[in-house]
Amino acid sequence: MIFMHIRTRFAPSPTGFIHLGNLRSALYPWAFARHNKGDFILRIEDTDLERSSQEAVDVIIEGMAWLGLDLDEGPIYQMQRIDRYREVVKQMLDSGLAYPCYMSEEELNTLRDQQMANKEKPRYNGLWRPEPGKTLPPVPDGVSPVIRFKNPIGGSVIWNDAVKGQIEISNDELDDLVIARPDGTPTYNFCVVIDDMDMNITHVIRGDDHVNNTPRQINIMKALGGTPPVYAHLPTVLNDAGEKMSKRNGAMSVRDYQKAGYLPEAILNYLARLGWSHGDAEVFTKEQFVDWFDLESLGRSPAQHNPEKLLWLNHQYIQNSDPVNLAVSTKPFAHEMGIDTETGPDFVQVVSLLKDRANTLIEIAEGAKLFYLPAPNLSVEQIKENIAEAVIPALKDLVEAIASSTPTKEAYAAVFKQILAKYQIKMPALAMPVRYALFATTQTPAIDSVLVVLGKEEAVKRLSKVIQ
Ligand code: GLU
């Protein structure tokens, strides 16, 4: 077997809204390159000046960095390669691979109407295509021509798509593609070919909305003496309602997920499974993903976005995260909510306590609020209403026992057990008033852990206020 240095690329057009599904087209070529110790390149296809925006470029670059999709080359902007495309157009004209076509827009429209009326497929009729022995029409004055590629006549284009299997398109279906506009600017399909060739791309992994472009691209590449790469066309990602993902029907960008408190590891894992599988593995590390990734296991039918599954995965990652790292990721969310994590209980401990029940970093930060709010200033009425007179003796005992206990979850649990037995009451009868005394709410995580995190001194101080 000949050793092949694998080179893949992600070639987004920075137009419109970049949603999560779009980044899947970055993840797979990245994983394929990493798996094969090859190179991964980012190419920004920004030749559509009207629709391209810096904002979209930023979303792409930030999103990839956040997910850890590192680059070996790029970002390469097509707009900076215009001279190169023009140079190839010229070479193709000189070598007869392309020709100027002076057919006006109007003539093209008339042609199309005639073809439609005859129930034929509308296509350019080759009027200006030079052939041996053919006389071309006289060149009209003052008309700038488009440049067309001389597509092969007869035969067909065949490629073995790594996802879709063998695809064959007859050359009769393809007319002579415009590769440069009258003002000399190169067209989309042409730039893609020049780039894939110049960048030595070995595997093109992209959305299947490009299947129709592929035979045209292969023909141009072959005409230029290139070897077409392996193509893997990924089925679309549908939203949870089974529609094409778009901003209008609620698709979110990677940045939106970041703001909603998702972990990049969870998003990466989720995206990986959106059209690819490895046995029944659902939760795996980035390293495992790279290790396992292959084109053979790409799905053939459209993948469907499943927000519940993503949330579930995020929960898995949060639950299994190291509390120190998780605290670092959660801090910005806490600060955003006005929590001063530097004063009050140790934030790592707070996060540790909350992580098993949280689905997002926002939920952790929300839960953390409790520990950083000032001690509640309960009125006599509030105390009366929420703390039964009968439980006061038990509370008094509890405060004393806590004050002299080792400050651990286990020791506090033993203290509670002992007092419940002494007063013949059930846990909620004691825990609820304790929660209320501590925070003016009865919604908190397990009371023994809460006492540890809040700190013995602070807990005793707050409890003492309600038993006087
Ligand atoms: N720029 C194209 C897009 O955003 C992708 C082109 C390609 O991957 O060949 O859909």
- Does the beta carbon of 217 sit less than 6 angstroms from any atom of ligand 1? no
Residues 30, 69: Cα–Cα separation, whole Å = 7
Name the residue of 9, 13, 221 to mutate for ligand 1: max ligand atoms within 8 A of Cβ.
13
Residues 442, 195: Cα–Cα separation, whole Å = 63
Q: Coil, helix or strand for 159?
A: strand
- Does the beta carbon of 23 sit less than 6 angstroms from any atom of ligand 1? no
- Does the beta carbon of 228 sit less than 6 angstroms from any atom of ligand 1? no
- Does the beta carbon of 18 sit less than 6 angstroms from any atom of ligand 1? no
3-state helix, strand, coil in the chain (%, to 5): 50, 10, 35
Neighbours of 282 (CB within 10 A): 14
Q: What is the pLDDT of residues 208-245, one digit of tens each?
A: 999 999 999 999 999 999 999 999 999 999 988 888 88
The domains of the chain, with CATH numbers, are: 7-77+188-238 (3.40.50.620), 83-180 (3.90.800.10), 254-372 (1.10.1160.10), 380-464 (1.10.10.350)
User: 170 pLDDT exceeds 70?
Assistant: yes
Name the residue of 19, 45, 59 to mutate for ligand 1: max ligand atoms within 8 A of Cβ.
45
Task: For residues 419-424, give the mean pLDDT.
Answer: 96
Q: What is the pLDDT of residues 242-258, one digit of tens each?
A: 888 888 887 899 999 99
- Does the beta carbon of 12 sit less than 6 angstroms from any atom of ligand 1? yes
- Does the beta carbon of 14 sit less than 6 angstroms from any atom of ligand 1? no
Name the residue of 191, 203, 210 to mutate for ligand 1: max ligand atoms within 8 A of Cβ.
210
Neighbours of 74 (CB within 10 A): 17
What per-residue confidence (pLDDT) applies to 248?
A: 80
What per-residue confidence (pLDDT) applies to 2?
A: 60
Alpha helices in 250-405 (DSSP H): 254-259, 264-273, 286-292, 307-319, 323-336, 347-354, 361-372, 380-386, 392-404
Amino acid type, 397: D
Q: Residue 359: which pLDDT band, with cuts at 50, 70 and 90? A: very high
C-alpha 152 – ligand 1 centre gap (Å): 24
Q: Residue 172: which pLDDT band, with cuts at 50, 70 and 90? A: very high
Residues 85, 103: Cα–Cα separation, whole Å = 23
C-alpha 102 – ligand 1 centre gap (Å): 29
User: 193 pLDDT exceeds 80?
Assistant: yes
Alpha-carbon dihedral angle through residues 214, 189, 128, 138, given to the nearest 10 degrees? 180
- Does the beta carbon of 36 sit less than 6 angstroms from any atom of ligand 1? no
User: 397 pLDDT exceeds 60?
Assistant: yes
Q: For residue 15, which atom of ligand 1 is closest to its CA?
A: 4
User: 1 pLDDT exceeds 80?
Assistant: no
- Does the beta carbon of 67 sit less than 6 angstroms from any atom of ligand 1? no
Alpha helices in 137-263 (DSSP H): 188-198, 214-223, 254-259
- Does the beta carbon of 236 sit less than 6 angstroms from any atom of ligand 1? no
* Percentage of the residues of the chain whose pLDDT score is greater than 90: 91
Q: For residue 213, which atom of ligand 1 is closest to its CA?
A: 9
What per-residue confidence (pLDDT) applies to 3?
A: 74
User: 204 pLDDT exceeds 80?
Assistant: yes
Q: What is the pLDDT of residues 58-99, one digit of tens each?
A: 999 999 999 999 999 999 999 999 999 999 999 999 999 999
Of the candidates 283, 258, 338, the one whose C-alpha atom is nearest the C-alpha of residue 65 is 258
What per-residue confidence (pLDDT) applies to 16?
A: 83
Looking at ligand 1, which residue's alpha carbon is closest to its atom 6? 11
C-alpha 313 – ligand 1 centre gap (Å): 29
Is 445 in contact with 354 (CB distance < 8 Å)? Answer: yes
pTM score of the predicted model: 0.91
